[in-house]
């Protein structure tokens, strides 16, 4: 690859820095692919101790320090990309005013000195515009891709002895863009402390969960962890003729698994079964 140098603006919390980086162009015949020197394709070829030295996330025009994007990792109420952009603008404006005051002070010292010729000063530079919240989300997405292997490892090392499986349509209704309308159900399995073991998007609620159940059973087996004892669901928990339900067959790799109806749906069914117009409970 042939390197070419291009400047990139480096966004930090309190100051501006100009960074010179390289864009690598593939010299193979018929290949016109270009790579930024700190892109994921290049960084994946380095050892972990060398990769950690790159504290920047670069895009085509701008760059951002990783610790700025770290504020978006804890997504909570009030912690949004718009809030981060507002905070950046406030901090950058404060720093710009500080440097502006220093510049005017230095100009005043020169203007007060006796001189034969009139002294002219250059206009101070305008403050650089902070990127939008959409750019922050794009950089945040690149940060997630750089930690994808760690996220997968952290999720797949989560286990539990009491599981809860539930499906919902609320999440899939929020899908937009090309993913809109491609899935109807989001099914998640969590443990007794609320940690998510696995989540899948499916077009149907029940028949498409066989692969999910098989992968979950295989995960427990490969890790040498004891199978769970209980599984709480909202349907298909039991039958009157004592024949195995489809859900029990789906988790056939755990023959001792006890499937029960969770307390929330039990209370709803108890109320609907005991409450009547003639005798409201």
pLDDT in tens, 84-116: 888 888 888 888 888 899 988 888 888 888 877
* C-alpha neighbours within 13 Å on the C-beta side of residue 256: 6
What's the CA gap between 37 and 24, in Å, rounded? Answer: 6
Q: What is the CATH number of domain 157-274?
A: 3.30.420
How do the domains of the chain map onto residue ranges?
A: 1-146, 157-274
Instruction: Check residue 10 and report its DSSP letter.
Output: E
Average of pLDDT values for 250-265? 87
pLDDT in tens, 200-240: 888 876 667 888 888 899 999 998 999 999 999 887 777 66
Which residue has 């891709």 as its token pair?
145
Rg (CA), the chain: 29
Euclidean distance between the first and the last CA atom of the chain, given in angstroms as a whole number: 77
11: closest CA among 69, 60, 62?
62
Measured torsion, CA atoms of residues 43, 47, 53, 57, in degrees rounded to the nearest 10: 20
Helices 133-146, 148-156: crossing angle, 10 deg rounding: 60
Q: What is the pLDDT of residue 75?
A: 66
Q: What is the pLDDT of residue 239?
A: 67
More confident residue, 242 or 96: 96
In this prediction, residue 11 has a pLDDT band, given cuts at 50, 70 and 90, of: very low
Q: What is the pTM of this model?
A: 0.57
219: closest CA among 207, 227, 229, 230?
227
Percent of the chain at pLDDT above 90? 7
Three-state DSSP state, 84: helix
Q: Are 8 and 61 in contact (CB under 8 A)?
A: yes
Q: What is the pLDDT of residue 77?
A: 64
Least confident of 115-119, 161-165, 208-212: 115-119
Q: Is the pLDDT of residue 159 over 60?
A: yes
Average of pLDDT values for 28-37? 77
Count of residues for the chain? 281
Q: State how far the alpha carbon of 104 is from the alpha carbons of 41, 111, 140, 154, 190, in Å.
A: 46, 10, 38, 53, 61
Q: What is the pLDDT of residue 76?
A: 63
Q: List the 62-65 sheet strands across, edge first.
A: 34-36, 16-25, 2-11, 62-65, 56-58
Q: Is the pLDDT of residue 162 over 90?
A: yes
Q: What is the pLDDT of residue 17?
A: 60
pLDDT in tens, 38-74: 777 777 788 878 877 777 777 777 778 887 888 888 7
Q: Is the pLDDT of residue 1 over 60?
A: no
What's the CA gap between 9 and 23, in Å, rounded? Answer: 15
In this prediction, residue 163 has a pLDDT band, given cuts at 50, 70 and 90, of: very high
Strand ranges in the chain using DSSP code E only, listed in sequence order: 2-11, 16-25, 34-36, 56-58, 62-65, 162-168, 185-190, 196-202, 230-233, 258-261
Residues 6+ apart with CB under 8 A from 188: 165, 166, 167, 196, 198, 199
Q: What is the pLDDT of residue 84?
A: 85
Q: What is the pLDDT of residue 264?
A: 84
And the tokens for 43?
A: 């960084």
Distance from the Cα of residue 123 to its chain's centroid: 42
* C-alpha neighbours within 13 Å on the C-beta side of residue 251: 25
Three-state DSSP state, 225: coil
Q: What is the pLDDT of residue 12?
A: 44
In this prediction, residue 175 has a pLDDT band, given cuts at 50, 70 and 90, of: confident
In this prediction, residue 2 has a pLDDT band, given cuts at 50, 70 and 90, of: very low
């Amino acid at each position: 690859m042939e390197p070419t140098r291009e400047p990139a603006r480096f966004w930090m919390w309190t100051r501006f820095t100009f960074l010179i980086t390289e864009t690598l162009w593939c010299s193979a015949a018929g290949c016109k692919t270009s790579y930024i020197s700190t892109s994921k394709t290049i960084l994946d070829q380095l050892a972990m101790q060398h990769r950690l030295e790159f504290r920047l996330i670069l895009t085509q025009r701008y760059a951002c320090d990783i610790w700025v994007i770290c504020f978006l990792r804890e997504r909570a109420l009030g912690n949004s990309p718009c809030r981060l952009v507002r905070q950046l603008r406030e901090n950058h404006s404060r720093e710009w005013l500080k440097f502006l005051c220093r510049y005017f002070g230095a100009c005043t010292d020169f203007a007060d000195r006796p001189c034969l010729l009139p002294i002219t000063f250059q206009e101070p530079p305008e403050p650089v515009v902070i990127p939008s919240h959409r750019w922050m989300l794009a950089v945040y997405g690149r940060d997630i891709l750089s930690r994808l292997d760690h996220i997968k490892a952290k999720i797949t090392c989560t286990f539990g002895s009491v599981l809860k499986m539930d499906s919902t349509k609320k999440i899939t209704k929020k899908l937009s863009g090309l993913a809109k309308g491609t899935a109807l159900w989001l099914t998640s399995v969590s443990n007794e402390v609320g940690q998510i073991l696995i989540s899948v998007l499916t077009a149907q609620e029940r028949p498409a969960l066989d692969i999910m159940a098989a992968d979950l059973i295989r995960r427990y087996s490969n890790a040498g962890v004891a199978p769970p004892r209980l599984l709480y669901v909202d349907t298909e928990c039991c039958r009157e003729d004592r024949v195995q339900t489809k859900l029990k067959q789906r988790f056939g790799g755990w023959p001792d698994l006890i499937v029960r109806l969770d307390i929330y749906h039990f209370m709803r069914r108890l109320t609907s079964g005991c409450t009547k117009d003639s005798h409201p409970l």
